[in-house]
Amino acid sequence: MGADDLHEGRDSDLDGVDDLDDLAASARAELVRMIEAGGVWDRDPVWREAFEAVPRHLFVPYYYAGAVSGRQRLWGESPERRTRERWLRGAYADAPLATRMRDGELVSSSSQPSLMAVMLVELEVEDGHNVLEIGAGTGYNAALLAHRLGDDLVTTVDLDPEITESARRHLAAAGHHPVVVTGDGARGVPERGPYDRIIATCTLASIPRAWLAQCRPGARILTPFATGLAALTVRDAEHAEGRFLHTSAYFVPLRGTSRSDPEIPHLGALPVRTREHELFRFLLGLTRGSLDPQEAYALWEREGRPERERYGITVSGDREWAWLDEPTGPYAWPLPV
């Protein structure tokens, strides 16, 4: 069943549906107020209208709550009203929601709404821009883009046909019909280009050259990378460059790739579960294969425990590298091509 079944009232035992509609509206309004309080939309308040208009609960007809070892599946069609209310409130929490598990592993999720808001603002979309989203997920992010730009200017792609099919259903239930493609996100969707913006909702190990070839000069690519968000400007089909944003970001890897978080050894001066711990792990993830943990820690301390904004990525021809402070500076690490 799709999430729209809640509104159509197919189950005669689902009493109080109107009350749940009211709860959804108030919960969505509260989420919007919470995101707005963080100042996310100061630069581009139009995104507030999208978050107000697009009902997130239609995109998460069920999700998994609780610890990884003991997740509970919450379903919007539960015969128990209390469970339906819990599902609905959770759908509008400012938290990521695990939406698809396979063999105990998370393969798809709905990202934290406040982080989605940050990414959409940082994408720097303008009216008329053609946007490609890598990683369809639930379809919620594509719906936000479609509300802003119109269906014809939004394309979302995912490798998993089950994910794309459910995303189409969710989008249709919310009244949006952007182009949803089943395919390898690393290859882009050339027939829908050229693109002014590309946004990825999965983490990468390198920037696919196919994306650059499908972009207009001056296009912006925003993608999770290591545990950060890289914002690159495309010069042409072989050149792109940009820095990381301040915020941290944790996403599932692009399908067909693998990622394991780097282990941080006991290094005495580095306390566990601190912001410094997180920033050091970002450096390890960014330089994987180039520096061992001891070398990375020595560099990190020597350079004053740098924030993410001091790092960047350059793509030039058949080379791609991450760097600290300057693309041609002393600290540069090759990335896989």
Question: Phi/psi of residue 121, each to 5°?
Answer: -65, -45
* Separation between Cα atoms, residue 160 and residue 158, nearest integer Å: 6
Q: Tell me if residue 108 is catalytic.
A: yes
Owner of token pair 């549906």: 17
Which residue is catalytic, options 69, 108, 114, 258? 108
Q: Which residues of 174-207 are buried (b: 16+ CB within 10 A; e: fewer)?
A: bebebbbbbebbbebbeebbebbbbbbbbbbbbb
Active site residues: 108
